[in-house]
Structure 1
């Protein structure tokens, strides 16, 4: 099925950084050994390298265009956007001003870009990280009526719509 696709879009990260009860896993198998609670960036890099080998071995770039959606950020720590007393996105109703995120890109973005640059076959990065970082107001916590925080998923019009516009622009106007 994968080999017949004209377009493949990959994305990961959301579950890589979780720890404690919200983390659905904490074991990783590597070279036949089960490792408990591996450093998340190390595990993320290893997973991306494994994925990259799959792309190299299985994708025909004359037939299939491969995209990787960049890192979708969370907004659980106001210090990241220079609001020290803010614990999460719960009451955020406006985006950040400007075009840069105060704490910079997450380390996962750097890891992703390094791995993508090592893959010989073309993989197109849909780099949604910074534009999404600026939208601390775009999560459902403020609007869902529940007491729990959700500062990882997106609900406000604009953020996922922009991701889709970027993909669409690549599909219809990109260099194939």
Structure 2
């Protein structure tokens, strides 16, 4: 039987098909990572500069009448001259600035989620700015103080909760008075028992409620809050720690214990952030020794170390000292730093100072060179925090 010869042109498609089938297929490639938006990178607040807000300069997102505001930080209502319109320009962003949060877009992206802050009054300073900013995206926002929250808001349009839980040491602490006879003997009126391995009641039951948690502590860890007449005594496993710890070493133990608790009890899908210390700007003395911050001048880069480096022993050294302990405690955890210290060190111009909203407040409490005017620096914190949260959500996390 004669062989059938097929034309070469008919054989080529068959041959190519066989060859292609024999070539091992490569796995599908994931889509390339989108660039991290300005403000969303962890380094964006740690390197950069303040520049005049680019034109057109928009008014603040909220007014002194914001229902979430706190009187002591409502500087415009209290008569303080307005803080300069400045924007943070991260070194990474090529001269650009951190974009202002779009409240409606943020709430839409965070639909059905809950954002919680845990810590001292500087976290409250931040949450007030966040609540007032987001209200611009939902006029129906209302106050929310469930689950032990000290202050909070519910945004019904997108079913979003933002709240602050006050836990100044993060660990549980209780007052223990002493007998009068002992007071006369050594001057101690009582002690505060700090259980380093037990979280404060204010947040121990919320670890699985929030989709984003931002922690802080630091401003209460000093002799001005706990003088020698009412010292902190640290306990672990129900027993006093021996030898007794000083305040700073006690802080380090609490930080590590709390970080370990967060790792165990907070779900892995939750975005866990730890905000670094907010710097103080007392000039000329501590808050109770005529320290002042009546100023409209930003600090220069070359001045920062003399103000804040612990080696120089100034009254504002607390922030960097506490930050070193925070960084040590977070090693090998999935808790991310929200580093707002460096960018805030420049802003000696932005505290309430003498404009506290109450008669004789300065005579009683001294100037406030620790908290911030609102509107003010915490609004930029909000922009950076919002960028971090949105980037996390867009990655399919949380």
User: TM-score, normalised on structure 1?
Assistant: 0.78
Q: Which residue does 1:74 correspond to in 2? A: 280
- Gaps spanning 5+ residues in structure 2: where? 1-205, 310-318
How much has 1:157 moved relative to structure 2? 3.2
Larger radius of gyration: 2
CA, structure 1 residues 164+12, in 2 after alignment: closer, same or farther (shift >3 Å)? same
> CA separation in 1, counterparts of 2:233 and 2:380?
34
Q: 1:10 aligns with which of 215, 235, 257?
A: 215
Q: Which residue does 1:139 correspond to in 2? A: 351
Q: Which residue does 2:297 correspond to in 1? A: 94
Spell out the pairing of 1:54-133 with structure 2 (5 A cutoff): 54-61=261-268, 63-77=269-283, 88-98=291-301, 101-103=304-306, 104=309, 106-119=320-333, 122-133=334-345
- Contact 2:276/2:337 (8 A) holds in 1: yes
CA, structure 1 residues 73+40, in 2 after alignment: closer, same or farther (shift >3 Å)? farther
- Contact 1:99/1:134 (8 A) holds in 2: no
Q: 1:154 aligns with which of 346, 361, 372?
A: 372
> CA separation in 2, counterparts of 1:5 and 1:156?
26
Relative contact order higher in (CA < 8 Å, ≥ 6 apart)? 1
Q: How many residues align?
A: 164
- Contact 2:352/2:371 (8 A) holds in 1: yes
> CA separation in 2, counterparts of 1:40 and 1:151?
23
Residues 110-149 of structure 1 show CA distances to partners (whole Å, capped at 9, x for unaligned) of 1111111242xx1111101111111112211143364322
- Contact 1:14/1:152 (8 A) holds in 2: no
Name the SS of the counterpart of 2:387 in structure 1.
helix
More strand by share: 2
- Gaps spanning 5+ residues in structure 1: where? 80-86
Moved more, 26-35 or 153-162: 26-35
CA, structure 1 residues 158+100, in 2 after alignment: closer, same or farther (shift >3 Å)? farther
Moved more, 94-103 or 163-172: 94-103
CA, structure 1 residues 23+155, in 2 after alignment: closer, same or farther (shift >3 Å)? farther
Q: Which residue does 1:45 correspond to in 2? A: 252
